[in-house]
Amino acid sequence: MEKYTIKEVSNKFGDILEENNRVYLMKALSSLDKEIVDKIAEEVLFTDSRDGYAYHIPLNSRYLKERKSIIFLSYYLKEKTEEDAIKIILHEIAHYYLNHKTLFDFPLDEIDKFYMQDKEADKQVEEWLKK
Average confidence (pLDDT) per 10 residues, the chain, 131 residues: 92 84 94 96 87 70 62 90 96 94 83 92 96 74
Predicted TM-score (pTM) of the model is: 0.85
Domains in the chain: boundaries = 6-130
DSSP 100: P
Q: What is the pLDDT of residues 55-87, one digit of tens each?
A: 777 665 444 556 678 899 998 898 999 999 999
Can you give the pLDDT at residue 131? 74
Yes or no: say if 19 and 84 are a contact pair by the CB < 8 Å rule: no
- Domain 6-130: which CATH number of 1.20.120, 3.30.2010, 1.10.10, 3.30.300: 3.30.2010
Radius of gyration of the chain (CA): 14
